[in-house]
Amino acid sequence: MNHEGLLSKINTWALELGFSQVGISDVDLSEAEGHLQDWIAKGFHGQMDFMHKHGSMRTHPEELVEDTVRIISLRFDYSYKTTIPYEDVLKQPSKAAISRYAMGRDYHKLIRRKLKTLSEKIKTEVKDFNYRVFTDSAPVMEKAIAEKAGLGWIGKHSNLLNSKAGSYFFLGEIYTNIPLPISKKSTFHCGTCTKCIDICPTQAIVDPFQVDARRCISYLTIEHKGPIPKEFHKAIGNRIYGCDDCQMVCPWNKFATDSKVTDFLPRNQFDEPDLQELMTWDEVTFLKKTEGSPIRRIGFESWQRNLKIALNNQL
């Protein structure tokens, strides 16, 4: 089968599996490499040492997986119109705001399994198809790859944006040795808009495309270990896991489309949970209630740390 024909089949299979879009990138990430090095040199990665500890593997896919010449990049929508709007939750100090992506099932395993299923289907057509799948799980420049693969552009808040789907989607990648036809890189459509920069509660977007993670509420409530610096407590408000403010105000998110699966629907009323009630959970309850949820990854200590800040902000 020729590569055009194979790509058409990959598209069909991916949509059947619940993905929303497929694109193909080559492995030249030199532009993104400069941006990454500059960001790390400024210390904007905070405690995220994994951003540099893999050396050049992150920006050289062929070093991570030998013989890689193309990356199949895929989008998977995770939002639902039925979910209580994030902006409504932010206005209620007695409720806790959780980032939309984290309210349902942990995406890592689910997307990974779907990527593997898709890869196995490809393998039935192309015997010498070698591959490795990723979803937010290894040194992979997901957003830069997706942008090259035509899935969207990197917005001024540094998330990927799609003109037909906004930004509420996960990304997945299949590194492969098959020289599939390369997609056209997405063009930039933020224009003169600065809504995400203006809304950020902690002014973490210090310049367009430059997020200082050390100020970002998503980083502080999820990645950061230990006490959160006092200067950010007030601005955190009732956000106990992540922050969606920059996505919430983005005009392109009026085009966000419903996920094709129900896995990411809110569990335990995570779209509008009661702060006091969450505080009554002991560690056993926390582990039980967050089973299969990405929230579990932060552990009980950070969970309680975040809740205490939010509860304090009620006073």
Catalytic residue annotation: 136
Which of 23, 155, 201, 273 is in the footprint of ligand SF4 by CB under 6 A? 155
CA atoms of 3 and 161, how far apart (whole Å) = 28
DSSP at 22:
E
By CB under 6 A, residue 215 contacts ligand SF4 = no
By CB under 6 A, residue 105 contacts ligand SF4 = no
* Number of Cα atoms under 13 Å in the Cβ half of residue 45: 14
Nearer to ligand SF4 among residue 110 and residue 196 (C-beta):
196
Pairing of strands 210-211, 131-134: unpaired
Amino acid residing at 270: F
Selected range binding ligand SF4 among 24-32, 96-104, 140-148, 150-158, rule: CB under 6 A: 150-158
Nearer to ligand SF4 among residue 7 and residue 197 (C-beta):
197
Nearer to ligand SF4 among residue 4 and residue 207 (C-beta):
207
User: 253 near 152, Cβ under 8 Å?
Assistant: no
Segment 223-252, which members bind ligand SF4 (CB under 6 A)? 249-252
3-state per-residue secondary structure call for 219-278: HHHHHCCCCCCHHHHHHHCCEEECCCHHHHCCHHHHHCCCCCCCCCCCCCCCCCCEHHHH
Residue number with the smallest Cβ distance to ligand SF4: 155
CB of 163 to ligand SF4, least distance (A): 10
User: 93 near 239, Cβ under 8 Å?
Assistant: no
Which of 54, 195, 297, 308 is in the footprint of ligand SF4 by CB under 6 A? 195
Which residues would be at the binding site for ligand SF4 (CB under 6 A)? 155-157, 161, 190, 193-196, 249-252
